[in-house]
């Protein structure tokens, strides 16, 4: 059966989206070979890995191969893993809950993270108007996510850990590194991040990313340093 075949996941040492997929595979308890494609801070992913080029027209990781299935994009990988291995569920079971969770996962990637991408090119100009606007946009998103935890729930969508938690945790690592950290007064969100760091899957994947950054002489946020 396809489910019992090993998964091959192509990722990179500093791929937020690849890390999302890695954490999900671990949470599902699936056997997987993780292939870290070559990456350099200057050359980035050049030259591109042959299998990544063959499968993904966007020329990016993550790419997942499972038997005859060859897919890319971290969200599509989430959906495939949920169909492949429904237990433990990583989407809420009810229709409305799943819709909300999927929307938040999308917003983590497509609403929050573009602010962080803009900051990546403005590290030397923190007072630039574009950098100020990007940090403000990130701050608004943090406030919204903090409000989701207002009733004391430990996770962002309902009572269970979900793909939404995975996506936003990895995204906010890059936000912190680029100068837009979760503010200290977002106490519920700070507590959520600490709960995330206690999960074995998160410690394994985010910790490995932290160790790679240290090997490149890059500083780490304190919460990530604790996972190394």
pLDDT band at 125 (very low <50, low <70, confident <90, very high): confident
pLDDT in tens, 169-203: 999 999 999 999 999 999 999 999 999 999 999 99
pLDDT in tens, 53-90: 999 999 999 999 999 999 999 999 999 999 999 999 99
pLDDT band at 1 (very low <50, low <70, confident <90, very high): very low
- Residue of 129, 128, 111, 222 lying closest to 177 (CA atoms): 222
Q: Which fold has domain 2-84?
A: Glutaredoxin (3.40.30)
- Provide CB contacts within 8 A for 65, sequence distance 6+: 7, 8, 9, 10, 51, 55
Residue 2 has pLDDT above 70, yes or no: no
Beta strands in the chain (DSSP E): 7-11, 32-36, 63-66, 69-72
pLDDT in tens, 9-57: 999 999 999 999 999 999 999 999 999 999 888 888 888 899 999 999 9
Q: How far apart are the first and last CA of the chain?
A: 37
Q: How confident is the prediction for the chain on average, in pLDDT?
A: 94
Taking the domains of the chain in order of start, what are their residue ranges?
A: 2-84, 95-225
| Per-residue pLDDT at 3 | 57
Query: Taking residues 105-111, what's their average pLDDT?
Result: 98
| Per-residue pLDDT at 123 | 82
- Provide CB contacts within 8 A for 54, sequence distance 6+: none
| CA distances, 26 to each of 31, 35, 47, 86 (Å) | 8, 15, 28, 14
| Per-residue pLDDT at 159 | 79
pLDDT band at 4 (very low <50, low <70, confident <90, very high): low
Percent pLDDT > 90 in the chain is 86
| Per-residue pLDDT at 44 | 82
- Residue of 172, 177, 196, 166 lying closest to 113 (CA atoms): 172
CATH code for residues 95-225: 1.20.1050.10
Q: CA-to-CA distance for 228 and 223, rounded, in angstroms?
A: 10
Structure tokens belonging to residue 180: 């837009």
């Amino acid at each position: 059966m396809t489910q019992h075949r090993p998964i091959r996941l192509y990722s990179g040492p500093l791929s937020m989206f690849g890390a999302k997929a890695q954490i999900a595979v671990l949470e599902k308890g699936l056997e997987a070979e993780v292939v870290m494609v070559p990456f350099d801070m200057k050359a980035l992913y050049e030259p591109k890995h042959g299998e990544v080029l063959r499968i993904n027209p966007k020329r990016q990781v993550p790419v997942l191969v499972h038997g005859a299935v060859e897919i890319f994009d971290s969200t599509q990988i989430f959906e495939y893993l949920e169909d492949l291995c429904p237990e433990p569920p990583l989407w809420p079971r009810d229709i409305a809950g799943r819709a909300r969770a999927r929307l938040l996962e999308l917003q983590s990637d497509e609403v929050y993270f573009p602010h962080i991408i803009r900051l990546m090119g403005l590290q030397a100009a923190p007072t630039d108007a574009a950098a100020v606007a990007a940090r403000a946009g990130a701050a608004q998103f943090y406030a919204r996510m903090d409000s989701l935890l207002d009733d004391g729930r430990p996770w962002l969508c309902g009572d269970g850990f979900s793909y939404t938690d995975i996506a936003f945790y990895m995204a906010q690592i890059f936000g912190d590194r680029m100068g837009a950290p979760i503010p200290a007064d977002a106490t519920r969100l700070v507590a959520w991040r600490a709960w995330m760091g206690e999960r074995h899957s998160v410690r394994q994947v985010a910790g490995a990313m932290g160790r790679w950054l240290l090997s490149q002489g890059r500083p780490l946020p304190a919460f990530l340093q604790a996972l190394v």
